[in-house]
Structure 1
Amino acid sequence: MNYLEANKFHQGLAEELIRDIEPNSVALSVWSPPYHVGKQYEDGQTFEAWQEMLRTVIEAHFDILKPGSFLAVNIGDILVFRDETMPRFQAENLTMRRSSVTREQVLAAMELHPEYNRRQLAKILGCSEQTVQRRLEGNNIRGGKYATQTRVKIVGGLIEQFALDAGLYTYDRRIWVKDAAWANSHWTTNSYRSVDEFEYIYVFWKPGITTVDRKRMTPEEWTEWGSRGIWSFPSVRRNDVHEAMFPVELPARLIKMLTDEGDVVLDCFMGSGSTAIAATTLNRNFIGIEKDPKYVKLSQERLLNVPPQLNIRY
C-alpha cells in the first residue's frame, strides 16, 4: 500500500485520508477541528455530521499512533448551535435599557386605554413603539429575535467519549488563555454568558510505553509551561488568510514536549499550516491533511517562507 508521504500536504477529507497513514507511525497528532460555529468552511454541515466526522477521525488514530504516543485536540469547550426544541431564552436586560418604561407601565396604560394601538401607547408613555413591543413580548432573545433559539453544548465530554470508544485514554488537559473575543470589538450581550477567552487542549494516550524526557525542554521551559496546566499566549489577532488561524506556539509546545527529533507529527485539519511550520522548525517530520485546495496552497507558501531559525516563543 502507498501510505501518505511525510513532509507533504495532502488535499482531501480527514476522515478518508487518515486511513492511508502508515500504522504505528505517528508520534503525535495535534490539531484543531472545525468548531461548528458557522465558519464558511463549515457551511451546510449539521451537528450530527460534525460529530460523525470527529468520531471517525479520532477512531482511526488507534491504528496510526505509535504505542505510548499521544493525540492532542485543541478546541473551544462550548459549542453553540440552533435547536428548535429548546425554549426561547428571553431576557430583560435592565443595564442596557435606553428607556425607563417598564412592562408594568405598559400593561397599566393598556388597561386605561384598551382601544389604543402600540403607536398611541408609545406616545403617552414617552417611548418608542419598539420599546412597547419589547416590554410586552420580551424580544431580547438569544440567537436573534426571529432566529431559532441557540443552545450551548459542552463538547469536552463528546471528544473524550470518542477517544475512549477508539481505545485511547484521557491523559491530560491544558487550558490555553488567549485574547478575549471582545479585545478588538464592541462587546454587548443580553445574557450572563462569559466572554470567550480560553480554549482546551485535550491529550489522549494510546496504551504502550511512553518515553518521558524533560530534557526535551530547558529547565526554564519546564517550569514556565511544561509543568503548568494553564498556557497564556496571544491568538492570531488579525489575519486575512484563514478564518480560524491558530498560533505556531500552540503545536510547537506540544511537539517539543511529547516528541523527539525525526518523529512524525500529524495534523488532520491543517488549515494555514501552523503545525507543519512548528514541526519543521523543531526538526520533526509532518503529515498535513486539508480539504480545501486554497489552504493547501497557503500552507505550502507559508512553509516556504519560514526563516531558517524561526523564533518560536515558549
Structure 2
Amino acid sequence: MLEIEPSSVALSVWSPPYFVGKQYEKGETFESWQTILKKVIENHALVLKPGGFLVINIADILCFKDENIPRIQALNISHQKCKVTREMVLETRQKYPHYTRYQLAELLGCSEQTIDRRLNGNNIRGGKYLTQTRVKLVSHYLEKYAYNIGIYLYDKRIWAKDPCWANSQWTTNSLKAVSEYEDLYIFWKPGEYVIDRSKLSNQEWKEWGSRGIWFINSVRVNNDHEAKFPEELATRIIRLFSAKGDLVIDPFMGSGTTAIAAIKTDRKYIGIEKELSYVTLAEKRIQETTFVQTTLNFASFT
C-alpha cells in the first residue's frame, strides 16, 4: 500500500480474514491478526484522499476460544435418545446406595456416561475436553485503529445474507442464532466529499442507498476461494461511496470481486493479495470481465 500515490484513493473496500480458522489464516494468533488489521488501517492515513472512504466488511467472532471461561452446559432434551431421567437415577441410587455408576447403568439399561451426565449435569457444549468458546466483538478494534490516525467511523450498515451460508437449514442445535448477517463499517478521512443523488435511481435510493440493512444473498459456491463476498455487495459500496473514474483499492483482493465491480462501474482499481493462487484466480476473473466489458462497450458504440 505504501507504493500507492499518497492521497489518491477515493475508496478502499475490503473484507479481511475473520480469524475463524480458514486455510489462509493458519499460524495466525489473535494478536498477529490484530496487528495485520492495525497496519492496513494505518496505511490508509497516507493513501486515502481527503473526503475518501474506507469500508470494511467483517463479522464478530462467534466462536472465540477462551480457556478462562466456565464450561458451557446445555441440556438439549429434544435430542436425548435415552429416556432415563435424573430423577430415575437418583431414585435407583437411593435403593442401591453402594452401586457404581456402571452397575446403575446396567440396571437402568443405559450407558455409564448417561448416569454421569444425569448426576453431574456435565452436558458440556463442544465436548468435555475442547476449549470453550464465546462471542468476541471486533468493531472496537477497527474504530480504535482508525481513530488513532485521524480516520473516523462515519456510518454502519448490515449485510443480511441468508442462513444457508453455514448450511444451517434454518436451525441450530443450541439457543444461539443462526449466523445470517455481517457488518459494514464505513470510515471517513476528513475532507469534503460530494453527495450526488444522480448516482443512483430514485428506486435504488429507496431500496438500498439510504437503507441501513442490505439484503444480498451470499455466494453459493466457494470452490475456488474459501470466503468470497457477493459482487452485488462490492458494487453497491463502490457506486455509493465513489464516482466514475475514481481509484478504488482492495488490500485483501482474494478472488478479485472488488476489481470486477470497479471495472463494471467505470472505476480504476488496485488490488493487493499475498496468496499466489488467489492472485492467479483474480487475474483470470479480471481478464474475463475486461474482455466482456470491452465487447459490450464496442457493441454499444457501433
**Which among 217, 237, 244 is matched to residue 200 of structure 2?**
217
Identify the range of structure 1 (209-218 vs 26-35) with the bigger mean alpha-carbon deviation. 209-218
**Which among 200, 206, 222 is matched to residue 239 of structure 1?**
222
Q: How much has 1:301 moved relative to structure 2?
A: 0.8
Cα distance in 2, alignment partners of residues 216 and 66 from structure 1? 20
Partner of 1:84: 67
Q: Which runs of 5+ in 1 are unaligned?
A: 1-17
Assess if the C-alpha contact under 8 Å between 2:19 and 2:61 holds in 1. Answer: no
Give TM-score, length-normalised by structure 1: 0.87
Give TM-score, length-normalised by structure 2: 0.90
Partner of 2:300: none
Q: Which runs of 5+ in 2 are unaligned?
A: 298-302
Report the identity percentage.
Answer: 57
SS at match of 1:208: coil
Identify the range of structure 1 (167-176 vs 187-196) with the bigger mean alpha-carbon deviation. 187-196
Q: CA deviation digits over 1:44-103, x for unaligned, max 9?
A: 111111111111111111111010110000011344221111111111122222223223
Partner of 1:152: 135
Letter in 1 for 2:253: M
**Which among 187, 198, 202 is matched to residue 204 of structure 1?**
187
Count of residue pairs brought into register by the alignment = 293
Partner of 1:28: 11
Q: How much has 1:181 moved relative to structure 2?
A: 4.4
Letter in 2 for 1:82: K
Q: How much has 1:194 moved relative to structure 2?
A: 0.6
Distance 1:143 1:25, change over 3 A: farther
Letter in 1 for 2:199: R
RMSD: 2.0
**Residues 64-75 of structure 1: pairs in structure 2 closer than 5 A:** 64-75=47-58
Partner of 2:29: 46
Distance 1:128 1:188, change over 3 A: farther
Cα distance in 2, alignment partners of residues 103 and 298 from structure 1? 57
Assess if the C-alpha contact under 8 Å between 1:267 and 1:275 holds in 2. Answer: yes
Letter in 2 for 1:98: K
Cα distance in 2, alignment partners of residues 292 and 68 from structure 1? 31
SS at match of 1:290: coil
Q: CA deviation digits over 1:30-52, x for unaligned, max 9?
A: 10110001111111111111111
Cα distance in 2, alignment partners of residues 181 and 40 from structure 1? 21
SS at match of 1:89: coil
Cα distance in 1, alignment partners of residues 194 and 36 from structure 2? 31
Q: CA deviation digits over 1:168-214, x for unaligned, max 9?
A: 11111111110114674557655321110011101000000111112
